[in-house]
């Protein structure tokens, strides 16, 4: 089944404790992207990648890191999480952003 898999689905952590949210796709897509979704603010792009070793900042990249060492994986790293990073995070992939993304099921992160 074609899909984008994110893990974990839920995560509660403490301020300052480094964490990684994994994302993997099995569709051989070039584009991958991370979004966060917050009430009243909608979906905002954090980082995106057009191919292996090619990444670029989205609208809200501060406090996040990404890497694209393999085509299928695009992990999101929070080096020192803060409470304002509490949010619902989505990973997505596509052949091309203009074609349309396939989204993962989301990771609900709470930073206390």
Partner 1 sequence: TQLLEQSPQFLSIQEGENLTVYCNSSSVFSSLQWYRQEPGEGPVLLVTVVTGGEVKKLKRLTFQFGDARKDSSLHITAAQPGDTGLYLCAGVGQAGTALIFGKGTTLSVSS
Residues that bind partner 1 (CB under 8 A): 4, 33, 35, 40-45, 48, 56, 58-59, 90, 92, 97-106
How far apart are CB 7 and partner 1 at their closest, in Å?
Answer: 14
Our CB check for partner 1 shows the closer of 5 and 67 to be 5
Neighbours of 60 (CB within 10 A): 18
Report how far apart, in Å, the C-alpha atoms of 21 and of each of 7, 12, 87, 104, 107 are.
6, 12, 13, 12, 8
CB of 36 to partner 1, least distance (A): 11
Task: Go through 62-78 and write b for each residue having 16 or more CB atoms within 10 A of its CB, e for each that does not.
Answer: eebebbbeeebbbbbeb
Work out how close the CB of 20 gets to partner 1 at its nearest, in angstroms, rounded to a whole number: 19
The residue among 48 and 74 lying less far from partner 1, judged by its C-beta, is 48
Q: Residue 43 or 77: which CB sits closer to partner 1?
A: 43
Question: Using CA atoms, how far apart are residues 16 and 5, in angstroms rounded to an integer?
Answer: 26
Q: How far is the CB of 77 from partner 1 (least distance, A)?
A: 20
Q: How many residues does the chain have?
A: 112
Beta carbon nearer to partner 1, 14 or 43: 43
């Amino acid at each position: 089944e074609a899909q984008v898999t994110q893990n974990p689905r839920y995560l509660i952590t403490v301020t300052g404790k480094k964490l990684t949210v994994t994302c993997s796709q099995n569709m051989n897509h070039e584009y991958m992207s991370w979004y966060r979704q917050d009430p009243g603010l909608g979906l905002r792009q954090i980082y995106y990648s057009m191919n292996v070793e090619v990444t670029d900042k989205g609208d809200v990249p501060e406090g996040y890191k990404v890497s694209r060492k393999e085509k299928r994986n695009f992990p999101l790293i929070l080096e020192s999480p803060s409470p304002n990073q509490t949010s619902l995070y989505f990973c997505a992939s596509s052949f091309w952003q203009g074609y349309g993304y396939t989204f993962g099921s989301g990771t609900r992160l709470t930073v206390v």
